[in-house]
């Protein structure tokens, strides 16, 4: 018997992964949660049928969304993580001794529960004493914060589902307000390749540009996401992602990474021409 | 849970069932509409869907006829009457405007007086233009802090009835756009003891028939007719509506009045949407509106916690001009953050992609319904928090909305058809207006035909224009000029 999981990247493109076992399938209040065992990508977490992470390539995403801001702002102590119920971002953050507090705001307790059971390599640091999990709507949580955090990591699902509110101007505005005066916000910014995704990416970039004085986009290559090509947003009140990179300080930490390096850090901000154009279009 | 007072089987939906049956019969259409189940207009079919255009059909025996219902439409009307506790219900396809007008036209003839608050919807005064009745306005009290018109005080209604004993009816907003209710039961009693009918504009009150903890509905209060916007809180398609009548009104005469102006090609999309929505309300309305009221209450708390805004609720009740308050309404007073409601309305749309129902001089209204989810409410609250942070300024210089008592010089009909001349706004003081001027929404006239134009009124119009309210009514779309009587 052949069992395949397919995800539509557009109505005319689908990406399929052979499945050996369907480990978990439950519907939470917000979404359909599935975990699959696959020969090529290991365990795969999907929400509403969209791949969120695979054991094989999650390191790329989790390293790029965490180490880029951590290497720029060496004073980061208080971190707010939004979404990321799988625990991958938390795992990367707990590798830094200087981080004192990690508030994780995830709306869906069932995602955390499922990942604790079936994706222990991601969820392994969720019980770190510095981690405080809040099962709450992120917009509501952040409305009440003022100048509390050095870093906010927005690890949301795509902008067409329950996370839609995390791509809005009101959300970014409240993030700005929740950050200290030298704070940084990093978000997953989607993919620029297929038309529908590109439009959403432009919309959220436009909202961020209007909110933060410094706003740059960087890229990574993630095989299981649409077009294998993914973007992150780096928004900040003070630090420039390249000019303020402290590569030496970061290297001294001796963190072993498999994707991120300080050299790649700089390269990731150099974008292809079509993407530069798309961004400029909404930056005016 | 089905409401106890309903007698019929509310799980039925006769028009919907007849249409489903009709679809299965695969009838060959040699009648109108000419698109023939969509085949003749593929672009329209692609846009609206086969399912939808397939039931856009004409009246025929198996589907009944809206002008003279004898089968499935009649059954649907009986079910609606049962669900709403009315003696008779009419399915309407010309918007609640058509319900309001049929109600007024049933009650009034040329020269009759009708008692009503001035903050009525334009459709009421339009009906007066059509039939030639004369308005007797009751001054709705104004909440000074919020700058909104409230309900009618009992004493004011009693005074109007005493001064105009020959008036034929009293019309009541149940509730106003903001959710404010007058003491409807008392007003019904006063009207009836004076031999007058009591009519209710329930454009914003459909849910009153299906809610616990909501204000009394017109039929429950003993009113004689009610215009009910099913397409607002009832969930049916835009332009569909209900006209309810009590036992004292002759349903056959109401049908004749409706047929004076109603289309003879009533849309089955609208009719089936009324049928299905009535069923939904009867079966699940109570739970749904409970949820809406809870969401509104939550939003009020969160918005008030932001600071600067005042999302008002049942605390504004005063036993008379705010006899009751519809807790599903989410209205927010914005003047204290230094912004007019209409400015907040524009910012929400332009910068946050959030469309709310309306903003006026001092307030905004976000319309909540059974289709809302908590995550969108969080967006609204967060956007309001952001707007306050980014735009808050001193509120000095912002006008409050005062009630300007109108001086009715001649009837709306006489004014509308009179000889008139177009004058620039600033030269209109003292003249009698022959047309409407209003902000839309909410569609409550600042000036109606037959009223004296004053300096105060012109200032109000000018201010509303400056703040960006969309103004409608006059022949001149820019509202630089107004038609006045010669």
Q: Residue range B411-429: average pLDDT?
A: 93
Give me the residue from A142, A168, A177 closest to B379, CB to CB.
A168
Contacts of B378 in chain A (CB under 8 A): 137, 139-140, 165
Reply yes or no on whether the pLDDT at B3 is more than 50: no
End-to-end CA distance of chain A: 55
Distance of residue B381 Cα from the nearest chain A Cα, in angstroms: 8
Size of interface A-B (CB pairs under 8 A): 52
Find out whether the peptide bond into B175 is cis, omega within 30 degrees of 0.
yes
Residues A17, A93, single domain; the answer is: no
Nearest CA to B368 among B356, B360, B386, B378?
A: B356
Residues A26, A80, single domain; the answer is: no
Distance of residue A73 Cα from the nearest chain B Cα, in angstroms: 26
Number of domains in chain B: 4
CA distance A54 to A64: 15
Q: Between β-strands B358-359 and B363-366, what pairing exists: parallel, antiparallel or unpaired?
A: antiparallel
Give the structural domain span for B167.
65-276
CA distance A137 to A132: 15
Domain membership flag for residue B402: no
Residues B183, B326, single domain; the answer is: no
Residues A39, A143, single domain; the answer is: no
Give the structural domain span for A278.
58-283
- In angstroms, the Cα distances linking A147 to A78, A175, A184, A237, B275 are 10, 9, 11, 12, 53
CB B164 within 8 A of CB B136: yes
Q: Supply the DSSP symbol for B433.
A: B
pLDDT of residue B2: 39
pLDDT in tens, A60-90: 999 999 999 999 999 999 999 999 899 999 9
pLDDT of residue B80: 98
SS3 at position B85: coil
Count CB-CB contacts under 10 A for residue A40: 11
Residues A156, A90, single domain; the answer is: yes
Identify the residue whose tokens are 């006489």. Answer: B414
Residue B429 sits in a domain whose CATH number is 3.90.100.10
Reply yes or no on whether the pLDDT at B357 is more than 50: yes
Number of domains in chain A: 2
pLDDT of residue B148: 87
Concerning whether A34 is annotated as a catalytic residue, the answer is: no
Burial of B110 (0-12, 13-18, 19+ CB in 10 A): exposed
B296: tokens are 């509104």
CA distance A169 to A207: 5
Identify the residue whose tokens are 């020959």. Answer: B166
Domain membership flag for residue B399: no
Contacts of A82 in chain B (CB under 8 A): none
User: Hey, are the CB atoms on B382 and A139 less than 8 Å from each other?
Assistant: yes
Residues B119, B222, single domain; the answer is: yes
- Give the residue ranges of DSSP H helices in chain A: 58-72, 88-93, 109-118, 120-123, 138-143, 169-178, 195-211, 247-252, 262-267, 273-283
Domain membership flag for residue B24: yes
pLDDT in tens, A83-123: 989 999 999 999 999 999 999 999 999 999 999 999 999 99
Reply yes or no on whether the pLDDT at A7 is more than 50: yes
CA distance B71 to B74: 5
Residues A181, A270, single domain; the answer is: yes
Could you tell me what percent of chain A has a pLDDT over 70? 100
CA distance B274 to B96: 13
End-to-end CA distance of chain B: 61
CA distance A155 to B134: 64
Mutate to test the interface with B, among A143, A178, A200, A204 (most CBs of B within 10 A): A143
Residues B165, B310, single domain; the answer is: no
- In angstroms, the Cα distances linking B213 to B82, B210, B291, B293, B476 are 21, 10, 12, 9, 45
Residues B176, B45, single domain; the answer is: no
CA distance B126 to B133: 10
Residues A94, A126, single domain; the answer is: yes
B362: tokens are 């001092």
Percentages of chain B per state (helix, strand, coil), in multiples of 5: 40, 15, 45
CA distance A260 to A268: 10
Residues B59, B69, single domain; the answer is: no
pLDDT in tens, B131-150: 999 999 998 888 888 888 89
Residues A136, A251, single domain; the answer is: yes
Q: What angle do CA A28, A29, A31 make, to 5 degrees?
A: 60
Residues A207, A228, single domain; the answer is: yes
Torsions phi, psi for B11 (to 5 deg): -75, -15
List Cβ neighbours of B260 (8 Å cut-off, separation of 6 or more): B105
Reply yes or no on whether the pLDDT at A247 is more than 60: yes
Identify the residue whose tokens are 């177009």. Answer: B422
Residues A50, A78, single domain; the answer is: no
CA distance B468 to A76: 45
CA distance A234 to A188: 9
CB B338 within 8 A of CB B393: yes
B367: tokens are 């319309």
Q: Residue range B94-102: average pLDDT?
A: 96
pLDDT in tens, A130-171: 999 999 999 999 999 999 999 999 998 887 777 888 999 999
Nearest CA to B167 among B155, B175, B159?
A: B159
pLDDT of residue A53: 94
Residue A96 sits in a domain whose CATH number is 3.40.50.150
From chain B residues 20-79, the ones with a CB under 8 A of any chain A CB are none
pLDDT in tens, B166-223: 999 999 999 999 999 999 999 999 999 999 999 999 999 999 999 889 999 999 999 9
Distance of residue B117 Cα from the nearest chain A Cα, in angstroms: 39
Residue that terminates a domain, selected from B251, B276, B301: B276
Identify the residue whose tokens are 């007086």. Answer: B113
List Cβ neighbours of A182 (8 Å cut-off, separation of 6 or more): A73, A75, A150, A236, A237, A238, A239
Give me the residue from A162, A170, A210 closest to B375, CB to CB.
A162
């Amino acid at each position: 018997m052949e069992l395949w999981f397919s995800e539509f990247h557009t109505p005319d493109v689908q990406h399929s992964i052979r499945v050996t076992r369907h480990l978990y399938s439950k519907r939470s209040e917000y979404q359909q949660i599935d975990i699959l065992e696959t020969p090529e990508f290991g365990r795969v977490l999907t929400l509403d049928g969209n791949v969120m992470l695979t054991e094989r390539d999650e390191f790329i995403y989790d390293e790029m969304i965490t180490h880029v801001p951590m290497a720029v702002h060496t004073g980061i102590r208080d971190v707010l993580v939004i979404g990321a119920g799988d625990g991958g971002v938390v795992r990367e953050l707990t590798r830094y001794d200087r981080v004192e507090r990690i508030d994780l705001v995830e709306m869906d307790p069932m995602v955390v529960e499922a990942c604790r059971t079936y994706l222990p390599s991601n969820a392994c640091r969720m019980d770190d004493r510095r981690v405080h999990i809040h099962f709450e709507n992120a917009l509501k949580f952040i409305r009440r914060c003022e100048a509390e955090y050095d870093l906010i990591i927005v690890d949301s699902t795509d902008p067409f589902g329950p996370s839609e509110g995390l791509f809005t101007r009101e959300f970014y505005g409240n993030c700005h307000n929740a950050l200290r005066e030298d704070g940084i916000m990093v978000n997953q910014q989607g993919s620029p390749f297929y038309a529908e995704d590109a439009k959403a990416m432009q919309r959220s970039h436009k909202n961020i540009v209007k909110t933060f004085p410094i706003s740059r986009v960087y890229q990574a290559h993630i095989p299981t996401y649409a077009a294998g090509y993914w973007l992150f947003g780096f928004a900040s009140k003070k630090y420039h992602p390249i000019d303020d990179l402290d590569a030496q300080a970061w290297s001294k930490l001796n963190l072993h990474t498999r994707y991120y390096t300080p050299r790649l850090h700089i390269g990731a901000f150099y974008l292809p021409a079509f993407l530069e154009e798309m961004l400029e279009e909404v930056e005016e | 849970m089905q409401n106890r007072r309903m007698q019929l089987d509310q799980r039925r939906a006769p028009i919907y069932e007849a249409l489903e049956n009709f679809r299965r019969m695969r009838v060959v259409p040699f009648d109108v509409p000419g698109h023939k189940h969509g085949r003749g207009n593929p672009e329209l079919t692609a846009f609206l869907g086969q399912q939808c255009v397939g039931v856009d059909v004409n009246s025929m025996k198996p589907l009944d006829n809206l002008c003279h219902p004898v089968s499935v439409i009649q059954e649907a009307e009986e079910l609606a009457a049962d669900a709403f506790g009315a003696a008779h219900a009419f399915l309407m396809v010309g918007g609640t405007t058509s319900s309001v007008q049929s109600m007024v036209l049933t009650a009034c003839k040329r020269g009759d007086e009708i008692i009503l608050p001035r903050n009525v919807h334009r459709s009421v005064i339009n009906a007066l233009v059509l039939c030639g009745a004369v308005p007797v306005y009751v001054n709705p009290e104004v909440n000074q802090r919020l700058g909104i018109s409230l309900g009618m005080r009992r004493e004011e209604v009693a005074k109007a009835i005493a001064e105009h004993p020959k008036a034929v009816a009293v019309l009541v907003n149940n509730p106003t756009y903001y959710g404010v209710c007058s003491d409807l039961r008392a007003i019904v009693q006063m009207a009836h003891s004076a031999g007058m009918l009591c009519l209710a504009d329930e454009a914003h009150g459909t849910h009153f028939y299906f809610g616990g903890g909501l204000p009394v509905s017109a039929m429950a209060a003993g009113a004689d007719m009610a215009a009910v916007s099913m397409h607002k809180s009832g969930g049916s398609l835009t332009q569909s509506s209900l006209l309810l009548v009590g036992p004292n009104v002759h349903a056959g005469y109401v049908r004749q009045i409706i047929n004076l102006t109603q289309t003879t090609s009533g849309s089955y999309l609208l009719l089936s949407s009324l049928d299905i929505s009535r069923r939904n309300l009867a079966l699940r309305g109570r739970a749904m509106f409970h949820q809406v009221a809870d969401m509104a209450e939550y939003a009020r708390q969160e918005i008030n916690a932001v600071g600067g805004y005042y999302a008002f609720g049942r605390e504004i009740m005063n036993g008379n001009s705010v006899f009751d308050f519809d807790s599903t309404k989410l209205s927010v007073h914005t003047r204290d953050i230094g912004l007019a409601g209409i400015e907040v309305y524009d910012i929400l749309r332009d910068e946050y992609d959030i469309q709310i129902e309306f903003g006026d001089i001092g307030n905004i209204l976000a319309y909540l319904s059974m289709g809302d989810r908590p995550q969108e409410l969080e967006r609204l609250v967060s956007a309001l928090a952001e707007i306050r942070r980014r735009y808050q300024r001193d509120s000095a210089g912002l006008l409050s909305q005062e009630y300007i008592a109108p001086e009715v010089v001649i009837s709306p009909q006489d004014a509308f058809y009179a000889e008139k001349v177009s004058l620039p706004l600033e030269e209109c003081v003292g003249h009698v207006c022959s047309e409407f001027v209003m902000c839309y929404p909410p569609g409550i006239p600042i000036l109606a035909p037959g009223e004296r134009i004053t300096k105060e009124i012109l200032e109000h119009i000018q201010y509303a224009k400056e703040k960006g309210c969309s103004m409608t009514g006059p022949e001149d779309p820019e509202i630089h000029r107004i038609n006045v009587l010669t």
